[in-house]
């Protein structure tokens, strides 16, 4: 932190004491809920992040972090710094940091923990076997595919030996463990575990750990933005093809006006299949969390396999969030096991220390725990996405989603189908038809003058309301022409 502040102070000295961004009568859109001591997300004009960061430091803000790839500055502000940036024409908007939470640990209608054994006869989920993953392994094991797990970190575990190609911590809370919550390690095992008697859905896939959730499984939007900033810059270096998002915030607005949806779409159009948890606020309608409410991403709800491989007794989990979204899109896109799923534990983590009842006795393993929630369901489908991409390396995110959705089998009493890993390798259907990108994304691309080169259509200066979206094939768009590292959000 000291080094970052020193760099920013040096920048202040270079720009001098005059503040060229000040404009008489101008006032940025400042969240009225923002107060002295809060962490602010400052959205700025392209190329001005460092200048605005310098002004924040000079006016008394602390913990200043510049995310120049997405034109956002985060800072713990005081009254003086709020006033200083509010009148700067380089600042588009200043909002309070938004909380996100891991999509795990739901309770039933009576408030009982859904991981409890109750009368002692409930069985743990068979995990990957419940979605037919072993039948897929003859053709694909996920080899060569890297999945970014944006979560609470990934602990060292024998069943993940050599799998985590890099780790980046955006929480920076001085945690002594790689995964102090235990949530991310469990999901890593579901996706790509490859141990003696527990295998994930894609046992030969690799992982990137982007830590945005703290010890309790909570996080801030600012850290999520940092993770996506890193992902857009480094996706080619590490060949990331899938991103798992097992956290969310309440859906409060259209995806066109939702920052989490916009950043998720940026990864999607950059070639990363984004898999998001639906949320744990069911069974009522309109209970989705964002970015699971975004129409492009693969949104995953939970089904209860009743502890059996047979499909006949599968039921959509009562806690699993349902659509439609605010924009009336049918969600989730698919269901996967999400109740009493056993996977890898992180010794010393909050999950193991506070919930020893979730520890699964197994003499052959160092640490196993059970967990319930659409977090786990999303990890299952991220593993399926890795299987599909290993079998079909040329597939775009839209084709991966088409394969996953087409693979589904009916679940009694549900309008959403359950994923089948083996079928996903051979199935395909049209998805995301007539769906338009987030306006936040489109506006930014237009401002940057980016021409996407779709069948001769000029995307510069287009009146988006007049576009005949039915005539636009997104599969034909050359997204490689977009320099995603320059995308920022409004």
Measure the CA–CA gap between 82 and 39, rounded to whole angstroms: 11
Residue 60 has pLDDT above 80, yes or no: yes
Percent of the chain exceeding pLDDT 90 equals 45
281 catalytically annotated: no
Position 476 scores a pLDDT of: 44
Interval 98-120 mean pLDDT: 52
Burial-class residue 225 by CB neighbours within 10 Å (0-12, 13-18, 19+).
buried
Position 32 scores a pLDDT of: 79
Residue 223, helix vs strand vs coil = helix
- Structure tokens that stand for 485 in this block: 């590292």
Interval 79-103 mean pLDDT: 78
Burial-class residue 490 by CB neighbours within 10 Å (0-12, 13-18, 19+).
middle
Position 366 scores a pLDDT of: 62
Measure the CA–CA gap between 301 and 288, rounded to whole angstroms: 10
Span 316-356, pLDDT tens digits? 999 999 999 999 999 999 999 999 999 999 888 888 887 77
Interval 49-67 mean pLDDT: 88
Q: Which of 1-5, 132-136, 300-304 has the lowest mean pLDDT?
A: 1-5
In 235-350, beta strands by DSSP E = 240-245, 247-250, 273-277, 289-290, 298-304, 315-316, 334-337, 341-344
Span 175-227, pLDDT tens digits? 999 999 999 999 999 999 998 768 999 999 999 999 999 888 888 888 888 89
Position 130 scores a pLDDT of: 95
Instruction: Write down the mean pLDDT value for the chain.
Output: 81
Q: Residue 374 gets which letter from DSSP?
A: H
In 170-328, beta strands by DSSP E = 206-211, 218-220, 240-245, 247-250, 273-277, 289-290, 298-304, 315-316
The full set of domains in the chain, from first to last, is 2-97 (3.30.70), 101-424 (3.40.50.200), 439-486 (no CATH)
Residue 5 has pLDDT above 60, yes or no: no
Q: Out of 54, 81, 375, 407, pick the active-site residue.
A: 375
Q: Out of 68, 90, 183, 214, pick the active-site residue.
A: 183
Position 351 scores a pLDDT of: 82
Position 403 scores a pLDDT of: 98
Measure the CA–CA gap between 191 and 185, rounded to whole angstroms: 10
Span 368-404, pLDDT tens digits? 889 999 999 999 999 999 999 999 999 999 999 999 9
- What is the chain's alpha carbon radius of gyration, rounded to the nearest angstrom? 22
Q: Out of 88, 151, 214, 327, pick the active-site residue.
A: 151
147 φ, ψ (degrees, to nearest 5): -110, 125
375 catalytically annotated: yes
Position 352 scores a pLDDT of: 80
183 catalytically annotated: yes
């Amino acid at each position: 932190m000291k080094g970052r502040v020193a760099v920013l102070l040096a920048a202040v000295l270079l720009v001098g004491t005059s503040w060229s961004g000040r404009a008489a009568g101008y006032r940025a859109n400042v969240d009225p809920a923002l107060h002295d001591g809060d962490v602010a997300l400052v959205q700025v004009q392209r190329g001005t992040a460092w200048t605005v960061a310098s002004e924040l430091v000079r006016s008394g803000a602390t913990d200043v972090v510049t995310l120049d790839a997405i034109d956002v500055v985060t800072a713990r502000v005081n009254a003086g710094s709020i006033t200083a940036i509010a009148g700067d024409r380089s600042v588009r908007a200043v909002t309070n940091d938004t909380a996100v939470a891991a999509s795990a640990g739901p309770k039933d209608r009576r408030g009982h923990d859904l991981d409890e054994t109750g009368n002692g006869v409930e069985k743990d989920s068979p995990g990957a076997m419940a979605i037919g993953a072993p039948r897929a392994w003859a053709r694909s094991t996920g080899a060569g595919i890297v999945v970014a797990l944006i979560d609470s970190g990934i602990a060292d575990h024998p069943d993940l030996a050599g799998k985590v190609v890099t780790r980046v911590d955006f929480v920076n809370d001085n945690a002594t463990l790689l995964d102090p919550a235990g949530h991310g390690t469990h999901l890593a095992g579901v996706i790509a575990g490859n141990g003696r008697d527990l295998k994930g859905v894609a046992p030969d896939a690799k992982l990137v750990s982007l830590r945005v959730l703290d010890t309790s499984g909570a996080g801030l939007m600012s850290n999520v933005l940092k993770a996506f900033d890193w992902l857009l810059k480094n996706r080619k270096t590490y060949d990331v093809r899938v991103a798992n998002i097992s956290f969310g915030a309440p859906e409060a607005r259209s995806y066109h006006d939702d920052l989490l949806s916009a950043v998720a779409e940026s990864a999607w159009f950059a070639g990363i299949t984004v898999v998001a948890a639906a949320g744990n606020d069911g069974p009522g309608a309109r209970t989705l969390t964002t970015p699971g409410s975004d129409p492009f991403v693969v949104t995953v709800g939970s089904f209860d396999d009743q502890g059996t491989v047979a499909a006949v007794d599968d039921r959509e989990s009562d806690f699993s969030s349902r659509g439609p979204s605010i924009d009336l899109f049918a969600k989730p896109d698919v269901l996967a096991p999400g109740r009493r799923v056993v996977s890898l534990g992180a010794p010393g983590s909050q999950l193991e220390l506070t919930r020893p009842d979730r520890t699964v006795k197994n003499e052959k393993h160092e640490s196993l725990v059970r967990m319930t929630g659409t977090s786990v369901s999303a990890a299952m489908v991220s593993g399926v996405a890795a299987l599909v991409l290993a079998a079909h390396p040329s597939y775009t995110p839209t084709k991966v989603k088409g394969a996953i959705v087409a693979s589904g089998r009916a679940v009694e009493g549900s309008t959403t189908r359950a994923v089948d890993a083996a079928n996903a390798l051979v199935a395909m259907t049209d998805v995301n038809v007539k769906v338009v990108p987030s306006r936040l994304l489109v506006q930014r691309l237009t401002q940057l003058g980016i021409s996407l080169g779709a069948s001769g259509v000029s995307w510069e200066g287009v009146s988006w309301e007049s576009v005949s979206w039915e005539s636009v094939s997104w599969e034909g768009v050359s997204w490689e022409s977009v320099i995603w590292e320059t995308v920022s959000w409004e």
